Structure 1
Amino acid sequence: MAAAADKTKKTADKDKSAKPRSPLLITALVAVLAAGAAGAGVWFFTQSKHEPATAEAPKKGATPAPAQYFALEPAFVVNLNGPIDGPRYLQVEVQLMTRDAAALEAIKTHAPALRANLLMLFSQVSPEQIADVSGKQKLQGEALAAVQKVLKAETGSNGADDLLFTSFVTQ
């Protein structure tokens, strides 16, 4: 039993001598763990901020600029081309759409030339050509091409992205 008492006494002596080192060791260990956690937290938050930004960047690039419209006023009123069985008229309201502010200014500047070309185009239409939806869509495409031709000649750019008939009346 004396040997067991000696071991207990030696362990107690070791505990007494180890206690002064313990707080220092624990403090150092806590400091290392805290620094590691702070570093990991900084890394995590900086990485999570960058990843969604790169994922969202293509979405922002894919979103087109807002559409801007310009109404060619007043409405176009022309005599329709064709056999004479009484007066035939076409009244159409036209709006041009673009997504470029500079193109919108060019459209405003060259509106008289655009109107003149569209009047000539609309006056060449016969009632049979615009009797159905496909004929109206074809006329719409031809009108957009005429507008883009004028803008290309004047500015070097097509300018208008679309041409819309906002009213279409034949009589």
Structure 2
Amino acid sequence: MPSPADSNAKKKSRTWLWVSLAIVVLGAGGGGWWWWQSQQAAHAAIKAAKPQRSPAQYYALEPAFVVNLVDADAVRYLQADVQLVTRDNETRAAVETHAPAIRNHLLLLFGQQSVAQLSQRSGKERLQAAALAEVRQVLKHEAAPDKVEAVIFTSLVTQ
């Protein structure tokens, strides 16, 4: 028959077992909570550090551009619908203000092209890059914001 001392020792042993288990569970829970909080803070810091992009704003240069091309063998034309892309409100306002000067420069640029230059995608992309440079140059010359990101052709027809 077990003595009362043995019974008392088993109760103390079980009590310590439960206390130890509770400490481990609480420690793991606290550690998990701390880790989760640090991860949330890290994600918030990364999100705050990323610059937020404004939505793209498109400005259509209307009416469509129609110019004679420089081909010597025949009379050829280019018709282009052009839109400018910016994410800056001040640049958009500057584009609206200086649209006549921008159109003039683009008309001159488009009139220097030939059908052979525009027959390949690479030629059209070079024309877009040159048009973007022209637009930025006009805005810089006018001391206006020049944060135009792209010149987009929504229609480009040669004939």
Q: Settle same-fold status: TM greater than 0.5.
A: yes
Aligned to 1:90: 78
Aligned to 1:70: 59
Matched, 1:100 2:68: no
Alignment of 1:149-164 (within 5 A): 149-164=137-152
Q: CA deviation at 1:158?
A: 2.3
**Residues of 2 paired with 1:68 and 1:45: CA distance?**
44
Q: CA deviation at 1:62?
A: 3.9
Matched, 1:144 2:132: yes
Alignment of 1:22-171 (within 5 A): 51-56=39-44, 57-58=46-47, 61-86=50-75, 88-171=76-159
Q: CA deviation at 1:61?
A: 2.2
Sequence identity of aligned pairs in percent? 46
Give the residue type in structure 2 aligned to 1:58: K
- Secondary structure of the equivalent of 2:61? strand
**Residues of 2 paired with 1:133 and 1:91: CA distance?**
16
Offset from partner CA, 1:88-145 (integer Å, 9 cap, x none)? 1100000000011111111111111100100000011111111111111101100000
**Residues of 2 paired with 1:135 and 1:52: CA distance?**
49
Q: Residue 101 of structure 2 contacts residue 138 of structure 2 at CA under 8 Å; is this kept in 1?
A: yes
Q: Residue 67 of structure 1 contacts residue 98 of structure 1 at CA under 8 Å; is this kept in 2?
A: yes
- The structure number with the bigger radius of gyration is 1
Give the residue type in structure 2 aligned to 1:96: L
- Secondary structure of the equivalent of 2:117? coil
Over 4 Å off, 4+ runs: 44-51
TM-score by length of 1: 0.67
Q: CA deviation at 1:46?
A: 9.5
Offset from partner CA, 1:52-89 (integer Å, 9 cap, x none)? 25423436624422111100011100011120424x11
TM-score by length of 2: 0.72
Q: Residue 68 of structure 1 contacts residue 99 of structure 1 at CA under 8 Å; is this kept in 2?
A: yes
Aligned length: 157
Which consecutive residues of structure 2, in runs of 5 or more, have no partner in the other structure?
A: 1-28
Q: Residue 91 of structure 2 contacts residue 144 of structure 2 at CA under 8 Å; is this kept in 1?
A: no
